[in-house]
Structure 1
Amino acid sequence: MIENQLNCEECPDGRVKDASGRCVMPKVTFASFILSLNTSALFHMGELEHPETRERVVDRELAKHSIDTLALIADKTRGNLEPDENELLTRILYELKMRFVKLV
């Protein structure tokens, strides 16, 4: 009975239910890491609103830092990624750079 109640409740932000129904942090994968940096860059470019205030704030320096971090990862992992990981990183980096150019 208690287990069923736990399974019905929603997990706090950022957590997901595991096979036993406990709320845990999602598994870290290369794709989730890259997507996290993508989200950070989009947030700092004002593309995404703050979840609590609903404001869009532009911080070019932090946006550039996120993009530069992705570029560093692309450089340091060149030749060591699975094809789908390489494509994800390449596309995200291209899209972010184009958005940043438009922002500036």
Structure 2
Amino acid sequence: MSEKNKPFVITDRRKFTLDGEPRPDADPSPEKESREPAAAAPPPAPTAIPEPPAAPQAEEPEHDLPPAPTAEQTEQSRRAYEMTAERLDTAIRAANPGADHPPAMSFDQLVQSVYLTAMMQLGGATPEGQQPQVDLMGARQSIDMLGVLAEKTKGNLTPDEDRLLESALFELRMAFLEITQALARSAAAKAGSPTGGRPNPVGPSIVR
């Protein structure tokens, strides 16, 4: 019989009748599950222990200073400076016959230069009879400059250099105290003066 002429057969696979009774011709084998059993879920992955946070690193301070010159650059600039200074000395001696050669800079001259500057700022160079002009802020900076010099050179000075620096600092600090006290007394006298607070012509006055 050809495929086209084969009878069409319908197979009733129901196990029960419409009344709920078991069918006598039903297949007694259990009905196969139409679905495959669900695959077992994989076990949960172990929870990783979080690492402790890294300690914050201190930020490096920003420096605005330019890079330091190399040793070769330093040596070249030193030689060029000394040659230029020597030509300047030669020109000065040629214009002033018999003039002495300027002394080389030393630690003593450095201390004395700052000392004299501070004294002038405290009114030490004021002619007699005139009102001193005092630059308190400038004098304070000059005195503090010598203080920094004393701190940075501690243990590296000769006994004479150390004595010179300590004496200069002592005299300048005492002069600074004397001037500030004199200014305070002058201000108090002006406040209680019955003459209207006219300034004392010989008392110190502050420049800035």
How far apart, in 2, do the equivalents of 1:33 and 1:95 lie? Answer: 16
Q: CA deviation at 1:48?
A: 1.3
Corresponding residue SS for 1:84: helix
Mapped partners of 2:149, 2:118: distance in 1: 15
Give the distance between the partners of 2:123 and 2:159, measured in 1 at CA. Answer: 30
| Residue matched to 1:40 | 117
1:6 matches 2:83? no
55 and 36 in structure 1: CA distance in 2 versus 1, 3 angstrom threshold: farther
Looking at structure 2, the residues matched to 31 and 43 of structure 1 have their Cα atoms a distance apart, in angstroms, of 18
Greater share of helix residues, 1 or 2? 1
Matches within 5 A, 1:54-65: 56-65=132-141
- After superposition, residues 20-35 of structure 1 pair within 5 angstroms as 25-35=102-112
1:86 to 162, 177, 196: 162
SS at match of 1:100: helix
Which residues of 2 match residues 72-83 of structure 1 at below 5 A? 72-83=148-159
Where 1:6 maps in the other structure, the secondary structure is coil
Quick one: which of 96, 99, 104 aligns to 2:175?
99
The equivalent residue for 1:70 is: 146
Q: What is the TM-score normalised by the length of structure 2?
A: 0.37
Relative CO higher for 1 or 2, CA cutoff 8 Å, sep ≥ 6?
A: 1
Letter paired with 2:111 = I
Gaps of 5+ in 1: 12-16, 19-24
Query: Structure 2, unaligned stretches of length 5 or more?
Result: 1-93, 181-208
Shift of 1:55: 7.8
Q: TM-score, normalised by structure 1?
A: 0.73
Paired residues in the alignment total: 84
> How far apart are residue 6 of structure 1 and its match?
1.4
Bigger radius of gyration: 2
The amino acid that maps onto 2:173 is K
Cα distance, 1:55–1:35 mapped onto 2, change above 3 Å: farther
